[in-house]
Amino acid sequence: MLTSLGGGLLGLLDRRLVLTAWLPTALFWGGLGLLAVTGAGWPPALHWWLRQPAQFQVAMVALALAWITFWAYLVAALVPLFIRIGEGYLPGGLAWLIRWRLAAHKKHQKDMENAAVYSWQYADYPLSSVRPTRLGNILKASEEYPLTRYGIDAVIVWPRLFTVLPDQFVSSIAAAKAPLDLMAVIGALASAFSVAGTAIAWALLPWYAPLACFGASVLVAWLAYAGAVQAARPYAQLIRAAFDVHRGLLLDAAGLARPKSLRAERRQWEQITHLWYQGTPEDAALLGYPGDDVPGIRGWLRRPARQGPNKGH
């Protein structure tokens, strides 16, 4: 019965969610539970469990699985936040750490520029955009890549480009991002375990247990960050490839003509960004619109309401 219960619950979850969120969350809560049971004593805990009715045991296991699943969905929703923290977008209280790491990465980039050394991590990368972590610089470089090559603002265009990518390419991006998500989740849960697990061990176990919990958690978090850096590289390369190979598909889907030169393409994408972000291009003719046909959002809101053909008669 327990096997069928667990299999049925996991069958409701996406395989990627199980790998990147459910299993790490189960290990997190399982680890906390093991610390608590160890502190209370295994023989009394086992004796208490065996004395309970089978219906109670099944209900407890079902509640535990439901609890883990709830937290797995919550953790999965927070993956972008975990990655942003890994990129160096830290709370204001850690500004000193940001400044220290930022100075180190800027010095590293400046040294490479002076030596004329090419680095894909900082390729075509303005010094003002350097992030304080290696992970942040890898992902930021992939974001800056289409801007320096084609004049495409990746933040504005990527959600739209993603909808027209071929299915095989989308599958490749998902497969490349899954390890990054997994490492981000493991790092976040390990950091949380360093606090919660250490507190439980301090209250219930000998003096060396909290030290071991804290040291092991920090080690796992550090290894997870190192794994995230490695996982981010193929993912970032695929982001570059998406803009290199498939940006024309977005123009076709939007009903816009493909440019004939790189200079024309850069001007066109600049106007597309203005249209999608601000509501109006600066030069509507580059997008095939008459100049007076694109009033912009503010101008549109100031227009008087049009009367229908049957109104006013």
Which pLDDT tens digit goes with each residue over 136-189? 888 888 888 898 889 999 989 999 999 999 999 999 999 999 999 999 999 999
Query: What integer pLDDT is reported at residue 118 of this predicted model?
Result: 44
Give the residue-averaged pLDDT of 222-238: 94
DSSP SS3 for 309: coil
Query: What integer pLDDT is reported at residue 114 of this predicted model?
Result: 45
- In this structure, the number of other CB atoms found within 10 A of the CB of residue 3 comes to 7
Residue 124 has pLDDT above 90, yes or no: no
Regarding predicted confidence, which is higher, 13 or 3? 13
Going by pLDDT thresholds of 50, 70 and 90, the confidence category of residue 108 is low
Going by pLDDT thresholds of 50, 70 and 90, the confidence category of residue 253 is very high
CA 140 to chain centre: 13
CA atoms of 72 and 76, how far apart (whole Å): 6
Between 87-101, 209-223, 274-288, the lowest mean confidence (pLDDT) is in: 87-101
Greatest CA separation found in the chain?
90
Between 43-52, 91-100, 143-152, 294-303, the lowest mean confidence (pLDDT) is in: 294-303
Query: What integer pLDDT is reported at residue 127 of this predicted model?
Result: 56
Domain ranges of the chain: 2-43+56-77, 134-255
CA atoms of 187 and 228, how far apart (whole Å): 9
Query: What integer pLDDT is reported at residue 184 of this predicted model?
Result: 95
Residue 236 has pLDDT above 60, yes or no: yes
Regarding predicted confidence, which is higher, 108 or 62? 62
Between 11-20, 63-72, 92-101, 209-218, the lowest mean confidence (pLDDT) is in: 92-101
The pair of three-digit structure tokens given for residue 10, joined into one six-digit string: 């996991």
What residues contact residue 88 under an 8 Å CB cut-off, 6+ apart? 98, 101, 102, 131, 132, 133, 135, 136
Going by pLDDT thresholds of 50, 70 and 90, the confidence category of residue 131 is confident
The pair of three-digit structure tokens given for residue 73, joined into one six-digit string: 């969905």
Half-sphere exposure of 312 (CA within 13 A, CB side): 5
What residues contact residue 160 under an 8 Å CB cut-off, 6+ apart? 250, 254, 276
CA atoms of 190 and 208, how far apart (whole Å): 19
The pair of three-digit structure tokens given for residue 111, joined into one six-digit string: 């040294």
Give the residue-averaged pLDDT of 284-310: 52
Query: What integer pLDDT is reported at residue 32 of this predicted model?
Result: 95
Q: Which amino acid is at 257?
A: A
Query: What integer pLDDT is reported at residue 110 of this predicted model?
Result: 54
Q: Which long-range contacts (CB under 8 A, 24 or more apart) does 203-211 make?
A: 203/39, 204/35, 204/36, 204/38, 204/39, 204/40, 205/35, 205/38, 205/39, 209/35
| Span 239-250, pLDDT tens digits | 999 999 999 999
The pair of three-digit structure tokens given for residue 45, joined into one six-digit string: 């805990």
Between 133-147, 217-231, 289-303, the lowest mean confidence (pLDDT) is in: 289-303
Contact 178, 198 (CB under 8 A): no
Between 25-29, 39-43, 244-248, the lowest mean confidence (pLDDT) is in: 39-43
Query: What integer pLDDT is reported at residue 129 of this predicted model?
Result: 64
CA atoms of 223 and 230, how far apart (whole Å): 11
| Span 62-89, pLDDT tens digits | 999 999 999 999 999 999 999 998 888 7
**In whole numbers, what is the pLDDT of the chain averaged over residues?**
80
Residue 5 has pLDDT above 70, yes or no: no
Give the residue-averaged pLDDT of 114-140: 64
Query: What integer pLDDT is reported at residue 69 of this predicted model?
Result: 93
Half-sphere exposure of 169 (CA within 13 A, CB side): 18
